[in-house]
Amino acid sequence: MPRSLRSGGGCRLALIALACGPLLAGCGEGANMLDPHGVGARDIAGLFWVIFWMAAGVFVVVEGLLIFAIFRFRNRGEARLPTQVQGNRPLEITWTILPLVVLFGVLIATFNTMKAVASPVPNALQVEVIGHQWWWEFQYPDQKVVTAGELHLPLNQPVTLHIKSADVLHNFWVPELDRKVQALPGHDNIIPIMATQSGTYHGFCAEFCGLEHAMMRFEVVVQPGDQFTTWLQGQAQPPVQPTTAAQQAGAKAFAGSGCATCHQIGSAKPPGFPSNGNIIIGPNLSHVGSRGVLAGDIMANTPQDMAHWLQAPDTMKPGNLMTTFIHNGQLSQQQVQDLTAYLESLK
């Protein structure tokens, strides 16, 4: 094979290897599990590097010995066979014991990390996390707050997340903060979490759960304690009343167009904090205007995107439940404008 082609193949392999790096780490900015900003993620990344360097050491030793043997014991044109080591007891024992020791080290390190990331912290803030097809609901039961799509956490404070599902299997994962946790219907999975740096992080559903699995994302906003408390108190307030004509028309359209069948605003049906999350169909919209993202973090919460979402939900997120109720283009332009004005006012 011509040399230029051989080196081209090598380049391609190197490029593929480089491209696979981010896959291993969890793609995207703000979602790199090897860039931890939470106690659990830090422990997990630490374990990853321990195993990585152990594996790298094994690789170097084994490949080094292999290359050494290839050159040292190559056929030099002699007629006789080299010295045979088959059945050499000390060698057999050595290469049986050594991997055992290495793997036992990995096992101990893994057990330690599993214990560390699963240990509950007393007096932690309690948050219920409920997976729905295809969005995430977040409830703060002690503060009577319910929201969706955007999980707020206080900086450097312990939080216990109770992960569950309202329908099928989901999987809650914020790569930079902690481990993956399965969301099961009718069962609480607990995850103690503590973020150690303010900022916005990306969360994902990490288990295939239907058509829009890939669009079942969320944002995590980590704030210093005082800012978090202000946010929480704001979310616990009743929704603001519509003031402008457009907002009032939007409130009317909300009640008259079927929106209220699935979505709650205020205490018409109070955020009920059902233990299994079953009675909630769509996200609670009491403070939807305060959120940074919409529809499972597939778009920013801007009036333009909100209007587009109301106008043609199925083009933005095919298969979403809202489409079974509000078909593309069913709401008039005026209704969409009024609804957008009303919903965006709900800060």
Binding site for ligand CUA (CB under 6 A): 131, 134, 170, 205, 207-209, 213, 216
201/228 with CB nearer ligand CUA? 201
212/344 with CB nearer ligand CUA? 212
Q: Cα–Cα distance between 191 and 119 in angstroms, integer? A: 8
Residue 52, CA atoms < 13 Å, CB-side half-sphere:
9
Q: Cα–Cα distance between 335 and 92 in angstroms, integer? A: 78
154/277 with CB nearer ligand CUA? 277
248/276 with CB nearer ligand CUA? 276
Q: Cα–Cα distance between 161 and 159 in angstroms, integer? A: 6
Residue 111, classified by CB atoms within 10 Å of its CB into exposed (0-12), middle (13-18) or buried (19+), is exposed
Minimum gap (Å) between residue 204 Cβ and ligand CUA: 8
Closest CA to 347 of 297, 299, 292, 309: 292
Minimum gap (Å) between residue 282 Cβ and ligand CUA: 16
209/265 with CB nearer ligand CUA? 209
31/331 with CB nearer ligand CUA? 31
Minimum gap (Å) between residue 200 Cβ and ligand CUA: 21
39-72 vs 89-118: helix axis angle to the nearest 10? 170
210/258 with CB nearer ligand CUA? 210
Minimum gap (Å) between residue 208 Cβ and ligand CUA: 6
Q: Cα–Cα distance between 296 and 214 in angstroms, integer? A: 10
Closest CA to 325 of 262, 254, 249, 269: 262
Minimum gap (Å) between residue 334 Cβ and ligand CUA: 35
Q: Go through 229-262 and write b for each residue having 16 or more CB atoms within 10 A of its CB, e for each that does not.
A: eebbeebeeebeebeeebbebbbebbeebebeeb
Minimum gap (Å) between residue 209 Cβ and ligand CUA: 3
Where are the extended beta strands (E) located within 184-243?
Answer: 189-193, 199-205, 217-223
Q: Cα–Cα distance between 181 and 161 in angstroms, integer? A: 10
Residue 166 DSSP one-character state: S
68/208 with CB nearer ligand CUA? 208
134/138 with CB nearer ligand CUA? 134
**Torsional sign, CA 141, 145, 149, 151:** negative
Minimum gap (Å) between residue 153 Cβ and ligand CUA: 20
Minimum gap (Å) between residue 88 Cβ and ligand CUA: 53
Minimum gap (Å) between residue 171 Cβ and ligand CUA: 7
Q: Cα–Cα distance between 330 and 252 in angstroms, integer? A: 16
Q: How far is CA 61 from the centre of its chain?
A: 37
